[in-house]
Structure 1
Amino acid sequence: MNTTRTVYVPTPDGTALATDVCLPDGTRPVPSVLIRTPYGRDAHRAELRGWAAHGFAALAQDVRGRHGSPGEWHPYRGHETVDGAATVAWARAQEWSNGEVVAVGASYAAYCALVTALAARDTARDTAGEAARDPGPGADDLDRDGVPDAVIAAVPALGLAETAREPGGPERLWARAGWWAAHGDRRDSDPDALARALADDPRLLEHLPVARLAERLAEGLGRELPSWPGLWAGRGRGRLVALAPTARLPLLAVGGTRDPFAEDTVALWRGWGGPSRLLLGPWGHRLTADPAAPPRARVNLGVLYVRWARAALAGRLEPTRHGVIALGDSGRWRSAPGSTVTPDATPLDRPETECRWPFGSPTGLRLLHGAEFSADPDRPVRSDDLAVPADGDRADRCLLLSPPLPRPLDLAGAAVARINVTADTPSADWAVRLTALDPSGHADPLAFGIVRRTGPPGEAADITVPLGTLGRRLPAGTRLRAEIAGHHFPAHARNPHTGEDPVTATRLAPSRRTVDSRGSALHLPVVARRRYVEPAPEICR
């Protein structure tokens, strides 16, 4: 039986990090798997035993300043690169190690794995003395002993800017408030902290300015959150994705089409310089499937990770880019758009067909109401309610509906909305929410995107709103409902429409909006011909 023991791994400045080690039976040297996490190493005990049962030495480490590890934790600005490199080098030097290390992690732990993997590719130093300037992910004095041989990065949260804001600008209020309430400025975690605070103060997230929300949140938490304002200070994003082409080691990027960071996962996979594989399933950020999903739609990620790690360490992966995407809960998978196409590939292997659904068309999206509407931040369209107004007397959104699908439709790839719009305010957010209505009228979220535009009031503009990467099978009879709104609260902070920064603004103003059907359309990645693959062989070839 595999047993777990706790050791303390030294780092260059003398800080010793709490690390659980689970070794397989036997005495021969084996490869190692390293998980560095701020969420508590104890939660990985079963995972460590699973890796050990398959012949890997498995390590789970509390990052500096969290749970069992001393020091101070500065999310995305601390010691992750240097501490990760020190732990990789330590693992390589142990008598039970054969010298091979796979860095594994999900969410923030995926960030830890990635910055360690990219350490030798960046010249910035990641030290405590430079933490305040948001140092790069690597240190120029690290040697190759501190860089892993392969990386598994699941639902990666790639940085402060990537997690705090959408690529198009709007602030992710609900998710960041929840994460900071649960993990920020403390050594341990309290996952239900925001839920309790909202139970006591249901209008908590309406507090203005957003930059001082932590002061009100502290009343419910009973503790301060001094790092909250700094969360919104950084706007530079894409640093790890920009470094990805320099990587030469294998990458398995795992994400979910319902995960808010799915596009970062796809971008990382597309840009990676070494052999890269993508597994994009019908999951959210927790990588869990719908409990009602049929058994055929479920994937044993643990077994798949082991199979991929063995192939990566053995050098059996093709030096190309391959990926698979699930068609919702159907149990069917397709090659991901962007996978390497070999010279002998058939047309069935090539990318999806983009299908255009024009606004104001009986065969596209018919306008129900709201060609003109009011986006009022005092009465924002809510992200947690899929119900829509029955009429347009006081329209707060533009509402469109398609006719029933005449036949089943498979969607796999990137979707966008291209809209011609006007706002009478200098700043306006444009949120597009796409919902699938089954023949009984049940609403199921399909896609979402939001962008911020600044410009002269009253000036018409053509705007592209990315809706993410879709992987769904829609049955015959499904209708597509599209909503175009000015807010998506509380998932996103309200745009005050005054031109002020939504993080510091205290004054709100309504905004009159117009959506011109001419030139506006929804573009969906329709799979023209059905050809399916099995996920494990595809990502391990």
Structure 2
Amino acid sequence: MTPHTHDVVPRSHWAAPSGKPPLSSRLMRATWRGLPAKQHDVGWEPGLEVPAADGSLLRTDHYFPRTKGDFPTLLVRSPYGRGVPWSPLFGVLFAEQGFHVVLQSCRGTGGSGGRFDLWRNEAGDGQATVAWLRQQPWFTGTLGTLGPSYLGYVQWALALDPPPELKAMVVHVGLHDPHALFHSGGALLHENALAVGLGVKYQHQGMKPMVRATLRLQRRLREITSARPLRRAYESALGEVPWLDAAMTHPDADDPHWDGASVAAAAEQLAVPTCLVTGWHDALADQSFQQFDRLRRAGCESSLLVGPWTHTSAMQQGWPEVFAETLAWLRAHLCGDRAGLRPTPVRVHVGGEDAWRDLDDWPPATATTDWFPATEGTLSAQTPVESGPLATFRYDPDDPTPSVGGRLLSRAAGPRDNRKLEAREDVLTFTSAPLAESADVVGPVSARLRIATDTGHADVFVRLCDVDPQGRSLNICDGLMRLRTAGQTPSEVTVPMSSTAHRFAAGHRIRLQISGGAHPRYARSPGTGESSVEATHLQPVHLTVHSGTALTLPQGTP
């Protein structure tokens, strides 16, 4: 911990600027429904220059209530620009509710000086910004932070050494571990990596450059994700992005490249009340669950809201619920008004039931049930008597098994009908009989696989699906693991499939889906043991699933 200089300049009369928020922000604000009534008119002080840790100037906008009085301050730091949607989402809405809002572009973005370098400057620049706040006549010494995705990362970076003014944090669909953003189970999260490169490089430049780059990437996605080698193939759509190339080509979390990247440790000793918001189909959901666990172990006051959302829809369709949760938390810890807080630390949306459930902790302490696949393609909670191989399939990386929905950063994320995917010969399905009564699954899901490959190198992708009486198969959660097996001798691996809260209704069936990949969500395994990013040769692989494989489901509580 470094000592803080936190003398706040004595406040004098502050003459509020006369500017109104940008027209685009006011127009977007006017379209939102289901939000609390405005309490204050909003003023805007744009283009302030705040010294970064290295002296670069960080472009900063200040939103404030046009009402006499003292108000707490919210700090929002973003590499995605300061316009739509951040200006209306945070600047306008929270100033209306009685907060100063400081919206700042990270170093090297949105007109700020210096060079953007994924994760390396955020802790120092956050501290420098708080030092600047102490000199402002309207700053009361009470500070909160908020924001989604990378805007969550900068919060955790500041919380590594929290300034004494920091009294509350709200991390929406947040990031704390950049390595896990790009790599999972030993495989490159290729489609998400491209989305990150697109957003960070272009969104802060404005709507037109962002739209043009998005369309380029959509047109060339198949070409980019099928290139041999994959490395730098994205440049046809995104141009040169050195930090993206570095992230893609360093798959090992222990590589020195990632030293200092993770800010997970901030939660291990934090005393700042922290609210986490995520969705069951958020690409960063596991990062929220991990930080909530760390906060609880540290004894930090914390809350968790998990909705039926993806990474993007949480801040769109889910915004009324997310805004209400955020506002209640900030009012409780910055203004002393705890009336809006819910009685339990955790609230989750239960899919299939379409209802919210309040819990005392996450994950809840529940028993688990193993479901076992059989040779006939069935799935049963009865311990099998058979032994040996259950099924074999061939994975061809030249015709990779496609990805359908799931935890993506794009609009293609979320639950989708898997029937077309499951009709492929390279996808195995094991399905239960129709349930006589509803069954709740609440908590972490995993699959224990006994599996062999003929080349010793493959990926295995497993997915939990809900099959309705009409045969529609909707994905609930999933996971992938890169395998290193010893010839035809089966290896036992456990594949984490993240977490869920879902009710399988009576008459529905539980399905375990197994395949050799999900492309282009994950970069395909070349089947040779080479790096997916560098490989130029592809080798088809036969995978054999053996008896002893099991799907582990946490039993829900009503």
Q: Which residue of 2 aligns with 1:30?
A: 71
What is the distance in 1 between the residues matched to 2:247 and 2:154?
Answer: 18
Q: Which residue of 2 aligns with 1:305?
A: 326
Q: Does 1:162 align with 2:191?
A: no
Q: Does 1:277 align with 2:320?
A: no
Q: Which residue of 2 aligns with 1:183?
A: 200
- Kindly state the Cα deviation for residue 110 of structure 1 after the two structures are TM-superposed: 0.5
Aligned mate of 1:148, from 143, 156, 166: 166
User: Residue type matched to 1:4 in 2?
Assistant: W
When residues 42 and 184 of structure 1 are mapped into structure 2, their CA distance, relative to the original with a 3 A threshold, is closer
Query: Conserved in 2, the CA contact under 8 Å of 1:32 and 1:91?
Result: no
Instruction: Determine helix, strand or coil for the equivalent of 2:180.
Output: helix
Query: Conserved in 2, the CA contact under 8 Å of 1:298 and 1:331?
Result: no
When residues 66 and 105 of structure 1 are mapped into structure 2, their CA distance, relative to the original with a 3 A threshold, is same
Q: Which residue of 2 aligns with 1:110?
A: 152
Q: Which residue of 1 aligns with 2:533?
A: 503
Instruction: Determine helix, strand or coil for the equivalent of 1:73.
Output: coil
- Kindly state the Cα deviation for residue 234 of structure 1 after the two structures are TM-superposed: 5.8
Q: Which residue of 1 aligns with 2:108?
A: 65
- Kindly state the Cα deviation for residue 37 of structure 1 after the two structures are TM-superposed: 0.7
What is the distance in 2 between the residues matched to 1:442 and 1:358?
Answer: 22
Query: Conserved in 2, the CA contact under 8 Å of 1:103 and 1:151?
Result: yes
User: Residue type matched to 1:503 in 2?
Assistant: V
Instruction: Determine helix, strand or coil for the equivalent of 1:161.
Output: helix
Query: Conserved in 2, the CA contact under 8 Å of 1:258 and 1:282?
Result: yes
What is the distance in 1 between the residues matched to 2:454 and 2:214?
Answer: 35
Aligned length: 480
When residues 175 and 411 of structure 1 are mapped into structure 2, their CA distance, relative to the original with a 3 A threshold, is same
Query: Conserved in 1, the CA contact under 8 Å of 2:80 and 2:199?
Result: no
TM-score by length of 1: 0.81
- Kindly state the Cα deviation for residue 336 of structure 1 after the two structures are TM-superposed: 4.8
TM-score by length of 2: 0.79
- Kindly state the Cα deviation for residue 40 of structure 1 after the two structures are TM-superposed: 1.4
Q: Which residue of 1 aligns with 2:368?
A: 354
Query: Conserved in 1, the CA contact under 8 Å of 2:173 and 2:288?
Result: yes
Aligned mate of 1:266, from 289, 296, 311: 289
Query: Conserved in 2, the CA contact under 8 Å of 1:370 and 1:397?
Result: no
Instruction: Determine helix, strand or coil for the equivalent of 1:103.
Output: strand
Query: Conserved in 2, the CA contact under 8 Å of 1:450 and 1:465?
Result: yes
What is the distance in 1 between the residues matched to 2:548 and 2:202?
Answer: 48
Q: Which residue of 1 aligns with 2:7?
A: none
What is the distance in 1 between the residues matched to 2:422 and 2:302?
Answer: 47
User: Residue type matched to 1:355 in 2?
Assistant: T
- Kindly state the Cα deviation for residue 92 of structure 1 after the two structures are TM-superposed: 3.7
Q: Deviations over 1:395-447 (max 9, x none)?
A: 31322111112222322211111111111223221100222121122232211
Match runs of 1:85-104 below 5 Å: 85-104=127-146
When residues 65 and 452 of structure 1 are mapped into structure 2, their CA distance, relative to the original with a 3 A threshold, is same
Q: Please say which of residues 12-21 and 417-426 is displaced more in the overlay.
A: 12-21
Match runs of 1:34-433 below 5 Å: 34-43=75-84, 44-47=86-89, 48-77=91-120, 79-119=121-161, 144=163, 148-166=166-184, 168-184=185-201, 188=205, 190=210, 193-199=213-219, 202-214=222-234, 218-221=235-238, 223-232=239-248, 233=250, 235-236=252-253, 239-272=262-295, 273=298, 274-288=300-314, 299-313=320-334, 322-328=345-351, 330-336=353-359, 338-339=361-362, 351-360=365-374, 363-364=380-381, 371-384=391-404, 386-388=418-420, 395-433=425-463
Instruction: Determine helix, strand or coil for the equivalent of 1:495.
Output: coil
When residues 378 and 362 of structure 1 are mapped into structure 2, their CA distance, relative to the original with a 3 A threshold, is closer
What is the distance in 1 between the residues matched to 2:230 and 2:186?
Answer: 15
Q: Which residue of 2 aligns with 1:141?
A: none
What is the distance in 1 between the residues matched to 2:230 and 2:404?
Answer: 19
Query: Conserved in 1, the CA contact under 8 Å of 2:452 and 2:486?
Result: no
What is the distance in 2 between the residues matched to 1:371 and 1:290?
Answer: 42
Aligned mate of 1:4, from 41, 44, 50: 44
Query: Conserved in 2, the CA contact under 8 Å of 1:19 and 1:59?
Result: yes
What is the distance in 2 between the residues matched to 1:97 and 1:391?
Answer: 61
User: Residue type matched to 1:484 in 2?
Assistant: I
What is the distance in 1 between the residues matched to 2:486 and 2:181?
Answer: 29
- Kindly state the Cα deviation for residue 212 of structure 1 after the two structures are TM-superposed: 2.9
Instruction: Determine helix, strand or coil for the equivalent of 1:255.
Output: strand
Query: Conserved in 2, the CA contact under 8 Å of 1:421 and 1:513?
Result: yes
Aligned mate of 2:548, from 519, 524, 540: 519
Q: Deviations over 1:288-317 (max 9, x none)?
A: 3997xxxxx985322221111122336788
Query: Conserved in 1, the CA contact under 8 Å of 2:42 and 2:66?
Result: yes
Query: Conserved in 1, the CA contact under 8 Å of 2:445 and 2:552?
Result: yes
Query: Conserved in 2, the CA contact under 8 Å of 1:337 and 1:412?
Result: no
What is the distance in 1 between the residues matched to 2:246 and 2:202?
Answer: 12
Instruction: Determine helix, strand or coil for the equivalent of 2:225.
Output: helix
- Kindly state the Cα deviation for residue 29 of structure 1 after the two structures are TM-superposed: 2.0
When residues 306 and 195 of structure 1 are mapped into structure 2, their CA distance, relative to the original with a 3 A threshold, is same
User: Residue type matched to 1:75 in 2?
Assistant: L
Query: Conserved in 2, the CA contact under 8 Å of 1:29 and 1:98?
Result: yes
When residues 426 and 339 of structure 1 are mapped into structure 2, their CA distance, relative to the original with a 3 A threshold, is closer
- Kindly state the Cα deviation for residue 104 of structure 1 after the two structures are TM-superposed: 0.8
What is the distance in 1 between the residues matched to 2:438 and 2:366?
Answer: 16
What is the distance in 2 between the residues matched to 1:428 and 1:40?
Answer: 40
Q: Deviations over 1:190-234 (max 9, x none)?
A: 2562543342564331012222323xxx3345x333333201226
Q: Which residue of 1 aligns with 2:24?
A: none
When residues 74 and 363 of structure 1 are mapped into structure 2, their CA distance, relative to the original with a 3 A threshold, is same
User: Residue type matched to 1:387 in 2?
Assistant: R
What is the distance in 1 between the residues matched to 2:455 and 2:212?
Answer: 38
Instruction: Determine helix, strand or coil for the equivalent of 1:111.
Output: helix
Query: Conserved in 2, the CA contact under 8 Å of 1:182 and 1:192?
Result: no
When residues 370 and 92 of structure 1 are mapped into structure 2, their CA distance, relative to the original with a 3 A threshold, is farther
Query: Conserved in 2, the CA contact under 8 Å of 1:415 and 1:466?
Result: yes
User: Residue type matched to 1:255 in 2?
Assistant: T
User: Residue type matched to 1:288 in 2?
Assistant: A
What is the distance in 2 between the residues matched to 1:148 and 1:288?
Answer: 25
What is the distance in 2 between the residues matched to 1:298 and 1:405?
Answer: 35
Match runs of 1:462-473 below 5 Å: 462-473=492-503
Q: Which residue of 2 aligns with 1:138?
A: none
- Kindly state the Cα deviation for residue 179 of structure 1 after the two structures are TM-superposed: 2.3
Q: Please say which of residues 109-118 and 88-97 is displaced more in the overlay.
A: 88-97
Instruction: Report the RMSD for the aligned CA atoms in angstroms.
Output: 3.0
Structure 1 unaligned segments of length 5 or more: list them: 121-143, 292-296, 341-349, 531-541
Q: Deviations over 1:254-300 (max 9, x none)?
A: 11110121111100010023212111111100143997xxxxx9853
Instruction: Determine helix, strand or coil for the equivalent of 1:453.
Output: strand
What is the distance in 2 between the residues matched to 1:187 and 1:290?
Answer: 19
User: Residue type matched to 1:380 in 2?
Assistant: P
- Kindly state the Cα deviation for residue 451 of structure 1 after the two structures are TM-superposed: 1.0
What is the distance in 2 between the residues matched to 1:384 and 1:285?
Answer: 16
Query: Conserved in 1, the CA contact under 8 Å of 2:453 and 2:485?
Result: no
When residues 290 and 220 of structure 1 are mapped into structure 2, their CA distance, relative to the original with a 3 A threshold, is closer
Instruction: Determine helix, strand or coil for the equivalent of 1:74.
Output: coil
